[in-house]
Amino acid sequence: MLDVITIGDALVTFNPTSKGPMRFVHSFERKVGGAELNLAIGCARLGLRTGWISALGNDEFGKHILHFARGEGIDTTEVKLVDGHPTSIYFKEILEDGTGRNFYYRNNSPTLTMTPESLNASYIQHAKILHITGVFSAIHDQNPSILKHAIKTAKDHGLLVSLDPNIRLKLWSKEKAKETLLSYLPHTDILLTGDEEAELLFGTSTDEGIQLACKAFGIETIAIKKGERGAAAFHKGEYVKANPVPAKKVVDTVGAGDGFNAGFLYGFLQNWDLQKTLKLAATIGSMVVSVSGDNEGLPFLEDVQVQLGEKKQIER
């Protein structure tokens, strides 16, 4: 049985070899990205059994991503290589402070070949958590119907559903994002949200306001990501906070939220107490931003234990 499965697009990422506005960058390094794939990588590196459902172009980039995912120990049984749809790509702009912009080229995405009927129900039912995000929902109008079918299959077979709104306003409008994501909430067990995303969804960014809004949907487990201001979490009435974990150096902020999610799901599946789970998640998010790349900074469990002082690292 798999611990976590997720559904979503993946892209070849072109990381700039120098910082500053992209118009002045002359060379890029090929890497791999995609929110759902990042989550799967983060979970696998922590030791969870992870599966990924997707479609990639039957081209060199698609084969590269597939081999990369397999190399991370992710089950790719339900990842298809399809003809006539080039693998998506995107270029990153990274400024001196680690922030930047993303420029996507994902028209005619291979995931357009996916349909609700193409999902393998028996694959979904043999897992513990189905993780979904707002990114896949935003790529094409048909994708919410795919996720809703996956959610129904998951709930019919006793899986928990984890949702990261992960709202990308370059991909859809605020109105469409809110309408779609709110439709998932009655079936969501674990909400992993940023406070700004919660403001868009619920009209509040306070911990208490978010918890109250989620209560109306029956969501009992909530993690609230606040970046440099730390994090907070609720679980069945319990409420805890985590202080911000300073990064050694902010190099690239992409993937920090995915790392946080992986840490939270790991702690949840280990039946850890909420404070320990939240601390792990926040620590991983901090570790990710100190490394360039979408998923290069996602740590193995031993790396996090060293960071937390639970293990000693022997260098020589």
The residues annotated as belonging to the active site are 258
H/E run at residue 93: strand 89-94
Token pair 């002359």 is found at 26
The token pair at 149 is 């079918």
The CA distances from residue 256 to 27, 114, 239, 281, 285, in Å, are 24, 28, 23, 10, 4
Token pair 């009655």 is found at 186
Do 231 and 242 meet the contact criterion of CB atoms below 8 Å apart?
A: yes
Number of Cβ within a 10 Å radius of residue 39: 32
The token pair at 123 is 């694959």
β-strand partners of 92? 102
Please name which of 126, 119, 117 lies closest in space to residue 159, comparing C-alpha atoms.
126
How far apart CA 248 and CA 251 sit, in angstroms, is 9
How far apart CA 219 and CA 96 sit, in angstroms, is 39
Please name which of 34, 88, 30, 35 lies closest in space to residue 57, comparing C-alpha atoms.
88
